[in-house]
């Protein structure tokens, strides 16, 4: 499990910076800083922030945070003082826990703390890139513009999250309906016919006998089976929190035929948009690459990009090492190479993110188009098989009665 460390370091641009990052141990934190192009001065366990309230993340909280950043960027861009802009933006938030946490942040700003450092102290409220973008805006006197870019990035990320979630709803509901119909048949329909056959179970057709046995098993052990499934799901979730198992799961996702392209496109879109906006905000490329890498959920992809970040300080470039790592979609390499050759890496990365977002929507629509009839066929086949087994038993029972 990752631990939060506070650090002071000489950054890639020569300035002395401070902040916090997540790492397994101090050595990993130092290695992460060096990949960012920084020279660590001190690394220690981050003390608990007295003003950092924990806010439960939900769709409403994320939407309220995005609205807050958007309003704050407009107010700051209009020339209002930062503390006044924060107060006005916080006044429009209906989510009480979020508003309380942001009022604590406003108190830090009024005491003289830079906005970027106040964001660092509240990692649960903002993405990892937020503090870096705010710091870049503070450095060039364009906080409003930097926050506008941050709000746009957060909105695009939330839109991608909604796209994936909405695309998953129909197949999940259809799958649950399929299971419910099959259980209804086995638990309530089949038992009504079981008494009809009396003591003739041993003379029933194999399929009929199988359906009857399945019905009896579910009625006798159904609750225990449900408890076992719940316990297994909980155990699997706990196992997946282990770094080694989580890494194996993420690597497996990159090998599955229908999954690998979707995962690479989703992670690539998030990574490209974050990196592009950071580069456009004048964040040094090594630092921007390390920060963008923290937004990636697939650990295998993040590991490959981390190796690229380590070689970036040695002048290895970006497009060629990423092509060799093979963790991003093939189309991404062309955009990266063009951005490096034309010195327009930031805009090309943002354009790449738009292209990958579009491809994700097409892939999800295609997946739904395949999954929907497939689930329907499976449901129809299962119900038809149960009905056929019952009818076969009835016909066999009638033949047996006639013969006797």
What confidence category does residue 25 fall into, taking pLDDT thresholds of 50, 70 and 90? low
Does some domain include residue 192? yes
Does some domain include residue 134? no
Q: Where are the alpha helices (DSSP H) in 48-142?
A: 59-77, 82-91, 96-110, 115-120, 129-140
Does some domain include residue 102? yes
Q: Does one domain contain both 15 and 109?
A: no
Answer positive or negative: Cα dihedral of 107, 113, 116, 120: negative
Does some domain include residue 346? yes
Q: Does one domain contain both 175 and 241?
A: yes
Q: What is the mean pLDDT of residues 13-19?
A: 65
Q: Does one domain contain both 158 and 255?
A: yes
Q: Which residues pair with 40 in a beta bridge?
A: 9
What confidence category does residue 1 fall into, taking pLDDT thresholds of 50, 70 and 90? very low
Q: Does one domain contain both 164 and 16?
A: no
C-alpha 90/C-alpha 239 separation (Å) is 40
Residue 61 DSSP label: H
Q: What is the CA radius of gyration of the chain?
A: 28
Confirm if 51 and 121 have CB atoms less than 8 A apart: yes
Q: Does one domain contain both 39 and 81?
A: no
C-alpha 29/C-alpha 36 separation (Å) is 11
Q: Does one domain contain both 266 and 120?
A: no
Q: Does one domain contain both 236 and 322?
A: yes
Does some domain include residue 93? yes
Does some domain include residue 131? no
Q: Does one domain contain both 195 and 70?
A: no
What region does 193 belong to: left with phi over 0, alpha with psi -120 to 50, or beta? Answer: alpha
| Number of domains, the chain | 3
C-alpha 128/C-alpha 139 separation (Å) is 18
Does some domain include residue 284? yes
Q: Does one domain contain both 264 and 347?
A: yes
Most confident of 22-31, 300-309, 314-323: 300-309
C-alpha 334/C-alpha 91 separation (Å) is 45
Structure tokens at 142: 């364009």
Q: Does one domain contain both 66 and 22?
A: no
Does some domain include residue 136? no
Q: Does one domain contain both 157 and 77?
A: no
Pick the last residue of a domain from 73, 91, 126: 126
Q: What is the mean pLDDT of residues 75-83?
A: 86
Arithmetic mean of pLDDT over the chain: 79
Enclosing domain of residue 92: 59-126
Q: Does one domain contain both 175 and 306?
A: yes
Query: What are 170-213's pLDDT values in tens digits?
Result: 888 888 888 888 888 888 877 877 766 655 555 667 777 787 88
C-alpha 47/C-alpha 3 separation (Å) is 11
Confidence (pTM): 0.69
């Amino acid at each position: 499990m990752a631990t939060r460390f506070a650090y002071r370091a000489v950054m890639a641009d020569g300035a002395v910076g401070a902040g916090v990052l997540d790492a397994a141990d101090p050595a990993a934190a130092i290695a992460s800083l060096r990949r960012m192009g920084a020279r660590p001065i001190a690394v220690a366990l981050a003390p608990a922030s007295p003003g950092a309230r924990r806010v439960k993340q939900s769709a409403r909280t994320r939407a309220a945070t995005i609205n807050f950043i958007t309003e704050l960027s407009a107010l700051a861009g209009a020339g209002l003082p930062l503390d006044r802009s924060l107060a006005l933006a916080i006044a429009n938030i209906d989510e009480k826990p979020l508003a309380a946490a942001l009022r604590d942040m406003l108190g830090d700003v009024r005491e003289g703390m830079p906005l970027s450092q106040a964001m660092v102290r509240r990692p649960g409220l903002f993405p990892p890139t937020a503090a870096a973008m705010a710091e870049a805006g503070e450095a060039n006197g364009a906080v409003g513009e930097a926050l506008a870019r941050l709000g746009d990035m957060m909105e695009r990320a939330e839109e991608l999250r909604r796209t994936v979630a909405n695309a998953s709803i129909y197949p999940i509901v259809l799958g649950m309906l399929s299971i419910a119909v099959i259980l209804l048949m086995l638990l309530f329909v089949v038992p009504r016919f079981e008494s009809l056959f009396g003591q003739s179970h041993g003379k029933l057709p194999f399929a009929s006998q199988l359906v009857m046995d399945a019905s009896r098993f579910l009625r006798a052990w159904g609750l225990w089976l449900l408890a076992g499934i719940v316990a297994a799901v909980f155990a699997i979730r706990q196992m997946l929190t282990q770094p080694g198992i989580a890494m194996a799961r993420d690597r497996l996702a990159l090998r599955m035929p229908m999954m690998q392209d979707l995962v690479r496109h989703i992670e690539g879109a998030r990574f490209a948009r974050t990196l592009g906006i950071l580069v456009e905000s004048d964040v040094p490329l090594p630092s921007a690459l390390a920060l963008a890498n923290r937004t990636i959920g697939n650990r295998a992809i993040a590991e490959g990009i981390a190796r690229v970040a380590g070689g970036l300080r040695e002048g290895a470039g970006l497009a060629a090492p990423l092509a060799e790592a093979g963790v991003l979609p093939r189309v991404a390499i062309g955009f990266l190479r063009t951005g490096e050759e034309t010195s327009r890496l930031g805009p090309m990365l943002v354009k790449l993110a738009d292209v990958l977002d579009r491809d994700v929507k097409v892939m999800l629509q295609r997946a739904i188009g395949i999954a929907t009839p497939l689930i329907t066929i499976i449901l129809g086949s299962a119900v038809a098989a149960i009905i056929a087994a019952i009818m076969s038993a009835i016909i066999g029972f009638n033949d047996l009665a006639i013969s006797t």
